[in-house]
């Protein structure tokens, strides 16, 4: 591997490089030796986890590093404070430039659940005016 990297004038840092049991058979091998779940690693702001899909097949799972996400959200909040005097449409235009990049990177399996939890926590619940609007309509306007 080192030779291949040297072809492109790249090198591995000896302190930061290690071999991990990760992948399709890692869980089976580690379970056989009683070592627990496969190891995780952090790369480009994500925690990579060796997991299973609903069918039981290998699924590479990625979770956002919490510290990175918090700092990014803190930066966005500071910028919004500075842009408070700007009109709301311009603020929205700026947010569309910043936030979708953040979410576009995270389009991967299992993230939908995270989004749903965020939406449940932060978005207001819809106000139901009448639980059965069609029945209410039928009472006032019989056919």
Per residue in 96-112, pLDDT (tens digit) is: 888 756 565 555 555 56
Give the start-to-end residue ranges of the domains of the chain.
9-111
| Spacing of C-alpha 16 from chain mean position | 25
% of residues, the chain, pLDDT over 70: 77
For residue 27, how many other CB atoms are within 10 A of its CB? 19
**In the structure, what pLDDT confidence band is assigned to residue 135 with cuts at 50, 70 and 90?**
low
Q: Do 109 and 59 meet the contact criterion of CB atoms below 8 Å apart?
A: yes
| 2-11, 35-44, 80-89, 119-128: the lowest-pLDDT one | 119-128
% of residues, the chain, pLDDT over 90: 3
What are the φ and ψ backbone dihedral angles of 40, each rounded to 5 degrees?
Answer: -110, 160
């Amino acid at each position: 591997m080192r030779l291949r990297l040297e072809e492109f004038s790249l090198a591995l840092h000896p302190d930061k490089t290690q071999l991990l049991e990760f992948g399709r058979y890692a869980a089976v091998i580690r379970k056989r030796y009683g070592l627990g779940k496969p190891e995780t690693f952090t790369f480009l702001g994500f925690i990579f986890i060796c997991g299973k899909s609903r069918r039981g097949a290998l699924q590479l799972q990625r979770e956002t590093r919490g510290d990175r996400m918090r700092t990014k959200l803190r930066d966005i909040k500071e910028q919004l404070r500075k842009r408070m005097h700007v009109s709301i449409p311009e603020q929205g235009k700026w947010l569309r430039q910043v936030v979708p990049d953040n979410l576009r990177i995270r389009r991967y399996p299992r993230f939908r659940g995270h989004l749903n939890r965020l939406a449940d926590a932060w978005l207001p619940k819809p106000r139901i005016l009448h639980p059965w609007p069609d029945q209410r309509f039928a009472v006032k306007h019989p056919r």
